[in-house]
Structure 1
Amino acid sequence: MPERPYTYYDFTVSLCPECFRRIDAKIVFEDNNVFMLKSCPDHGFHKVLIATDREYYKNIRNYNKPSEMPLKFNTQTHYGCPYDCGLCADHEQHSCLTVLEITDRCNLTCPTCYAMSSPHYGRHRTLEEVERMLDVIVANEGTPDVVQISGGEPTVHPQFFEILDIARTKPIRHLMVNTNGIRIAKDKVFVEKLASYMPDFEIYLQFDSFRPEVLKTLRGEDLTTVRKKALENLNAYNVSTTLVVTLQKGLNDDEIGHIIDYAVQQPCVRGVTFQPTQVAGRLQDFNPATDRITLTDVRQKILEQTNVFQPNDLIPVPCNPDALVMGYALKLAGQVFPMTRYIDPAHLLNNSRNTIVYEQDEQLHAHMIKIFSTGISVDRVEDNFKELLCCLPQVHAPGLTYNNLFRIVIMRFIDAWDFDVRAIKRSCVHIVSKDNRIIPFETMNMFYRDDKEHIVKKYQQQNA
């Protein structure tokens, strides 16, 4: 009998990337690749590459854990995912990180921008609006794990520090500011004031490339000097920082290892987050058929372009294993020592906060003793590294502080091409909308921004 050219693996619900209607989809294996096959009655057949590591894709199901719900839901479930955001009662994960957009304005007009920001787009939120949005987050989460102040470019808001002060009155465990770094590079007094919000505060710094031509493609300007000056100022005040890299296939994916190596050498940097480009918002000179890069591509390139990390150092995050990879390491004297390899997945499945003990690595232990003998260490653990986010174990490492933490995150923001309703229901990165709903980041950018809501309204009218 004739055989199909693939092995059927699973079934899900996806979207047509042209009209955004819900359609059935197959998940199939071809050699080591994983594809999504789907067909729209109006726009035909689509075959979308969703993973380049068949075994990793199969293994992510072993990292599912019981869902953690928010304290309340904000909308009714009526039309079905993704047309009821949010959060509707059918959503399976609380907000591990909530984005609070305090302005639509930006001091750049990036060719790649999920929010369509520019110097003249939209407006700033008022202090009253911001406080209401923060209160919605607290009502949903009780004690929010991470709130990220964003935009647009949040540092252009004329009441930026007043907003940070309001946020500090709320029971938020960790506060972040998502920024392109321009003001940080130009204004050292501004950075000194940022440092006064430490600890439990972090800068999420855009850092896409070392090459001017790449930055011009992604950001419209050569920002290499801005990035380096921003890090110089952040290092001067040791403001905890994560470097955030927007990735496009064939554009900057060959720089992954170089960026990690550079990040390790920066005293203020606590890690690097890699975000494959989401097909949403403003996206110039990008072909979804050829320029997409998968989560497993990024993971493999990290392994290939660094000589430190092993496959079991970069594992799925249990709250949304389809979309998140995370690896933790200790940063000591300009070197990194991976820790995630010591995590037993069985503990993660049981939602157990097992403890990793650094003495399990003899080389690391010896190196730490050498460091401690030179007096570099501190006297106590700093709250077990501030709890390494909500989804991975705490670390017991006497004598170390948050300064010694280094994490790598791959954050896949699903779009209409690779939309998988199973993963969307587990999305844990959310945005507070202008009308105070809590909406998954992915569906916000596809459906619920100002220029997109007509898509949802059309579907709701057709299915009323």
Structure 2
Amino acid sequence: MPNRPYIFYELTNSICSKCLRKTEAKVIFENDQVFLVKHCRHHGREKVLISTDIEYYKKCREFLKRAEMPYRWNTSIQYGCPYDCGLCPDHEQHSCLALVEVTDQCNLQCPICYAESSPKKQKWRPLEEIEKMFDAIVKNEREPDIVQISGGEPTIHPQFFEILEMAKSKPIKHIMVNTNGIKIAQDKKFAEKLARYMPGFEIYLQFDSFEKEALIDLRGVDLRAVREKAIEHLNEYNISTTLVVTLKKGVNDQEVGKIIKYGLSQQAVRGVTFQPVQIAGRTKNFNPATDRLTLSEVRSMIIEQSEVFQADDIIPVPCHPDCLAMGYALKLNGEVKPLTGMIDPHILLEGDQNTIVFEQDEQLKHKVFELFSLNHSPGSSAMSLKDLLCCLPKVAIPENISYNNVFRVIIMQFLDAYNFDVRSVKKSCVHIVHHDGRIIPFDTYNLFYRDSLENRLKEIQTEMAMTAHE
């Protein structure tokens, strides 16, 4: 009997990359890689690489835990995922991180931009509307873990610090500002003023490359001097900072290890987040067939290029294991000790705090317990280790070890029309707040719910409604 050249692993639903209609999809293993194979009756067959590591792909299926729900739902189930966002009762994860976009104007016009921001856009959200967006998150989460103020470029909003004050007045545990760093680099007093919002505050700093050519490819301009000055100011005031790297194959992926090493050497930097390009918004000079990167490829780059993190140190994040991977380390006495590989993964899934396994170094074990306050009381501001590894940085500041000692690497892959998996998107925990109060997964927002994209969504919904009545 003839055999197929692949192994059929599982069945899911996806969408056609051209018309965005829902399609059935097979996940197959072929030539030591994982592919999504789908067929649209209007546009034919698509085969998309979704992982270069079959064993890691399977491992993600082991990192499953009970879903954490928001305290309320924002929409009803009518057309099915991904056409009912959100959050609808069929979604499987609350907002670990919620973005509030305060403007669509930017002081750059990057060739790669999921929001298609530019200096030409002139939309500034008024404070009243922004407060309603904050309040929508609070109603869903009560005490939101992380809220990211984003744009466009949020630091150029004329009422930026009023927005920060407003965010600080809400019961939000951790506030981030997503920025290209130009304002911080140009205005030292601006950076000094940012420092007043510490702790519980962080800069999410665009930091793609050390190379001029790569920066021009991704950002349209050489930003090396801007990055250097911004980091100088952030270091001076020790403002918690995450370096955010948009990764494009063959452009800056060879710099993964160098950026991690650089981040470890900077006082203010608490970690690096790597984000493969999401094919949404403005993607100039980007070919999905040749330029896209999978999470597993980025993970391999971290392992191969980094002098710190090994394979056991970069693991799936349980709330959305297909699209999030992370590794934590401690910076102690001039040394960097990877932490994640020392922890039994069952602690993440079963909540058994006694299953932490440290292969060696009792002193480190004591410090880790102290840092993450495993035996904290319910009223304590300290977060447990389980909490920390479940989502994104929410580290407390005990006596002698602080957030300054924590360094993390995150891979954050957003689904697009090519690698879209309905099973996976239901677990999305990074969400964008719509101005009308809906809380929408980042993945679907940039495909269906941003500005004029909702016109195509309404066409699909109308088509589905007509089909249902036939």
TM-score (norm 2): 0.92
SS at the partner of 2:458? helix
Match of 1:376 in 2: none
Match of 2:444 in 1: 443
Match of 2:77 in 1: 77
- Whether the 8 Å CA contact 1:385–1:405 is kept in 2: the answer is no
| Count of matched residue positions in the alignment of Structure 1 and Structure 2 | 452
Residue 332 of structure 1, CA deviation: 2.8
> Does 448-457 or 393-402 show the bigger shift?
393-402
- Percent identity over the alignment? 61
Q: 1:47 to 1:360 in 2, by over 3 A?
A: same
Match of 2:377 in 1: none
- Whether the 8 Å CA contact 1:317–1:324 is kept in 2: the answer is yes
Match of 2:418 in 1: 417
Partner Cα distance (2:409, 2:458) in 1: 38
SS at the partner of 1:25? strand
Residue 427 of structure 1, CA deviation: 0.2
Match of 1:170 in 2: 170
Residue 44 of structure 1, CA deviation: 1.2
Match of 2:218 in 1: 218
SS at the partner of 1:288? coil
Partner Cα distance (2:335, 2:168) in 1: 33
- Whether the 8 Å CA contact 2:263–2:271 is kept in 1: the answer is yes
- Whether the 8 Å CA contact 1:16–1:22 is kept in 2: the answer is yes
- 1:5 counterpart = 2:5: yes
- Whether the 8 Å CA contact 2:322–2:424 is kept in 1: the answer is yes
Q: 5+ residue gaps in structure 2?
A: 369-380, 466-470
AA at the equivalent of 2:326: M
- 1:317 counterpart = 2:317: yes
Q: For residues 326-363 of structure 1, give each alpha carbon's deviation from its aligned partner in whole angstroms, at most 9, with x where no partner exists.
A: 11100234432111012212222224556868894369
Partner Cα distance (2:310, 2:397) in 1: 22
- 1:264 counterpart = 2:261: no
Partner Cα distance (1:386, 1:239) in 2: 25
SS at the partner of 1:290? coil
Residue 307 of structure 1, CA deviation: 2.4
AA at the equivalent of 2:63: Y
- Whether the 8 Å CA contact 1:382–1:401 is kept in 2: the answer is no
Q: 1:358 to 1:158 in 2, by over 3 A?
A: farther
- 1:205 counterpart = 2:205: yes
> Does 104-113 or 386-395 show the bigger shift?
386-395
Alignment of 1:129-168 (within 5 A): 129-168=129-168
SS at the partner of 2:193? helix
- Whether the 8 Å CA contact 1:66–1:351 is kept in 2: the answer is no
TM-score (norm 1): 0.93
Residue 246 of structure 1, CA deviation: 0.2
- Whether the 8 Å CA contact 2:27–2:35 is kept in 1: the answer is yes
Match of 2:456 in 1: 455
AA at the equivalent of 2:56: Y
SS at the partner of 1:296? helix
- 1:90 counterpart = 2:71: no
Root mean square deviation of aligned Cα? 2.3
Partner Cα distance (1:302, 1:344) in 2: 21
Q: 1:262 to 1:123 in 2, by over 3 A?
A: same
Alignment of 1:40-59 (within 5 A): 40-59=40-59
AA at the equivalent of 2:207: F
- Whether the 8 Å CA contact 1:14–1:421 is kept in 2: the answer is yes
Partner Cα distance (2:187, 2:335) in 1: 30
* Structure 1 residue ranges, 4+ long, deviating more than 2 angstroms after superposition: 332-335, 351-368, 381-399
Partner Cα distance (1:365, 1:350) in 2: 20
SS at the partner of 1:336? strand
AA at the equivalent of 1:18: K
Q: For residues 179-220 of structure 1, give each alpha carbon's deviation from its aligned partner in whole angstroms, at most 9, with x where no partner exists.
A: 000000000000000000000000000000000110001101
Partner Cα distance (2:462, 2:41) in 1: 19
Q: 1:303 to 1:397 in 2, by over 3 A?
A: farther
Partner Cα distance (2:386, 2:35) in 1: 39
Partner Cα distance (1:218, 1:189) in 2: 29
Q: For residues 32-71 of structure 1, give each alpha carbon's deviation from its aligned partner in whole angstroms, at most 9, with x where no partner exists.
A: 2101111111111111000000000011111010000000
Residue 382 of structure 1, CA deviation: 7.5
Match of 1:428 in 2: 429
